Amino acid sequence: MQDDRLFINVKPGKTFLDRLTGKTKVRTFFSLIFLLIATWDIRLIVPLFVLFIIALISIRPNWKKVWAVLGFIILVNIFNLLLMWLVEPDYGLNVVGGSTVLWRFNSFYMISAETMWYFLVRFTKFMATFLLSLVFIQSITPSEMAAGLYSVKVPYKACTIVSIAFRYIPDIARDYQNIRISMQARGLELDPRKASLMTRLKQNVTILAPLIITSFDRVGNIANAMDLRGFGKKKIRTYYSEHEDTKGDRIMLPVYTIFFLLFVAVVVCNIVTHPAYQVWCPWITQP
């Protein structure tokens, strides 16, 4: 019942990706996300995009929720591209290096093949980034994330803040519910049909005061509990949730290493060749 709260898994799942260590998950995620950010080459982006779709299917997510979020992201992306086009219809000229007009509305607004190409690359890239993050979030538990971040040299106090936050968010949400109910019983009107948006916003702020006070009480208790069990005693830390490497981790080690090297290669290549146009396009030759 409580396994999938706020899109976060608390209990580890059973698929190949789920079974990897936090270290492998975090490292794979970081090398891939760096690579995606660095590249504008669709020859690289599309295979990754396909790979992420396979990965998403492999972790057997709750499709109902995935589609809801996916739909929202697609809409936002398309809206974003539309705005870009409205501001600068000839965007492709600067980043792709050409302006082949396919359709002209007036002296300013037109559709060029290069702009459309850029939008296609951009859309694929952003969707790939989103899919990667989705797979990552859906296959990692907060404890594994803490352990994984620690494995890439993030100080463990910062890592612990991450897992503690996930630990107590549901509790705070429950407090909020309770407070809201008691305020409603005292006459607070939160029904959108009966109170205006402003009133409701103001009244939600009223609920925040007791929420903050109860949360502070909790923070004090948590801090004491952590001190009493020796948190912060040593410079290093181990993680209970970080199991020994499995076969999967041994397979993934060369995989994420290659991705990371690829990222380095892309960056170095960019610096050395310094292409005039950022985005590779099949019918444009770079000068």
Which of residues 88 and 171 has its CB atom nearest to other proteins in the complex?
171
Phi, psi of 179 (to 5 degrees): -65, -40
Alpha-carbon distance of 94 to 105, in angstroms, equals 21
Among 4, 41, 175, 249, binds other proteins (CB under 8 A): 175
Q: How far is the CB of 280 from other proteins (least distance, A)?
A: 44
- State yes or no: residue 88 binds other proteins (CB under 8 A): no
Alpha-carbon distance of 28 to 8, in angstroms, equals 19
Q: How far is the CB of 14 from other proteins (least distance, A)?
A: 12
Q: How far is the CB of 61 from other proteins (least distance, A)?
A: 19
Alpha-carbon distance of 161 to 142, in angstroms, equals 10
- State yes or no: residue 143 binds other proteins (CB under 8 A): yes
- State yes or no: residue 164 binds other proteins (CB under 8 A): yes
Q: How far is the CB of 135 from other proteins (least distance, A)?
A: 20
Q: Which amino acid is at 214?
A: T
Which of residues 34 and 176 has its CB atom nearest to other proteins in the complex?
176
Residue closest to 223 by CA, chosen among 180, 164, 183: 164
What residues from 187 to 246 belong to the interface with other proteins (CB under 8 A)? 187-189, 191, 206-207, 209-210, 213-214, 217-218, 221-234, 236-244
Alpha-carbon distance of 60 to 68, in angstroms, equals 16
Q: Which two tokens stand for residue 158?
A: 């910062």
Q: How far is the CB of 15 from other proteins (least distance, A)?
A: 17
Given a contact cutoff of 8 angstroms between Cβ atoms, the answer to whether 47 and 279 are in contact is no
DSSP structural state of residue 283? T
- State yes or no: residue 154 binds other proteins (CB under 8 A): no
Give the count of beta carbons closer than 10 Å to the beta carbon of residue 55.
21
Alpha-carbon distance of 153 to 138, in angstroms, equals 23
Which of residues 224 and 286 has its CB atom nearest to other proteins in the complex?
224
Given a contact cutoff of 8 angstroms between Cβ atoms, the answer to whether 131 and 50 are in contact is no
Q: How far is the CB of 200 from other proteins (least distance, A)?
A: 13
Given a contact cutoff of 8 angstroms between Cβ atoms, the answer to whether 9 and 138 are in contact is yes
Which of residues 221 and 257 has its CB atom nearest to other proteins in the complex?
221
Among 28, 115, 138, 141, binds other proteins (CB under 8 A): 141
Alpha-carbon distance of 63 to 219, in angstroms, equals 36
Among 94, 178, 204, 246, binds other proteins (CB under 8 A): 178
Binding interface with other proteins (CB under 8 A): 1-3, 5, 10-11, 141-143, 163-164, 166-167, 170-171, 175, 178-179, 181-189, 191, 206-207, 209-210, 213-214, 217-218, 221-234, 236-244
